[in-house]
């Protein structure tokens, strides 16, 4: 998907609104950037949920990071006045997790870079969400940014979207349609 859809035959990453693409490359680009609803997880990306929040609601969110699910769940429980360590890794189901084999985990450097560049806007919104998470401490946010930096270093350190090749898509109609 990334190798054939986001990279041309010369190895150039096909990211940006002004790039000419063939039909398959257009579908890959629109899917990964959430511009079209080819795949639900990409169409309803971080921007979709974050932009749906209005006014002060944007500053009253809690965050559960997939990589730190148990800790984040417990921090929300404490924030709401509940008990410490109400869940543990032993009693917290991860229905979407399974051991990955080598072929499932492989992503070429070019594909990873292309996906990072295509996801730049969503990464920017993800960082905004992390920073607003009432249950996250500054070191939790920095830990997630460090993890992101290992995968998408340029995008992890992008400030104010200056490194993103695309404008944030206008998704107001999508939000109104689905809400």
pLDDT for the residue numbered 100: 58
- pLDDT, greater one: 41 or 145: 145
CB atoms within 10 A of CB 72: 19
pLDDT for the residue numbered 168: 80
Q: Which residues pair with residue 140 across a beta bridge?
A: none
d(CA 157, CA 139): 16
DSSP SS3 for 133: strand
Using a cut of 0.85, tell me whether the model's pTM lies above it: no
| Per-residue pLDDT tens over the stretch 142-153 | 999 999 999 999
Residue 37 has pLDDT above 60, yes or no: yes
d(CA 6, CA 93): 35
| Per-residue pLDDT tens over the stretch 111-148 | 888 889 888 888 999 999 999 999 999 999 999 999 99
d(CA 176, CA 179): 5
Average predicted confidence (pLDDT) for the chain: 79
User: What percent of the chain clears pLDDT 70, i.e. is strictly above it?
Assistant: 79
pLDDT for the residue numbered 82: 87
**Least confident interval from 6-15, 43-52, 72-81, 105-114:** 6-15
């Amino acid at each position: 998907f990334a190798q054939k859809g986001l990279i041309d035959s010369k190895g150039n990453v096909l990211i940006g609104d002004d790039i000419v693409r063939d039909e398959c490359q257009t579908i890959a680009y629109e899917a990964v950037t959430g511009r079209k609803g080819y795949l639900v997880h990409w169409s309803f990306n971080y921007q979709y949920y974050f932009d749906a929040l209005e006014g002060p609601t944007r500053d009253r969110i809690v965050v559960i990071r997939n990589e730190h699910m148990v800790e984040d769940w417990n921090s929300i429980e404490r924030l709401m006045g509940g008990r410490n360590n109400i869940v543990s890794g032993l009693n917290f189901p991860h229905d979407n997790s399974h051991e990955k084999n080598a072929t499932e985990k492989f992503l070429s450097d070019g594909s990873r870079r292309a996906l990072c560049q295509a996801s730049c806007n969503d990464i920017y919104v993800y960082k905004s969400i992390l920073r607003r998470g009432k249950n996250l401490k500054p070191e939790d946010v920095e830990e997630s940014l460090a993890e992101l930096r290992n995968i998408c270093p340029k995008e992890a350190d992008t400030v104010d979207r200056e490194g993103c090749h695309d404008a944030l898509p206008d998704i107001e109609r999508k939000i109104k349609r689905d809400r």
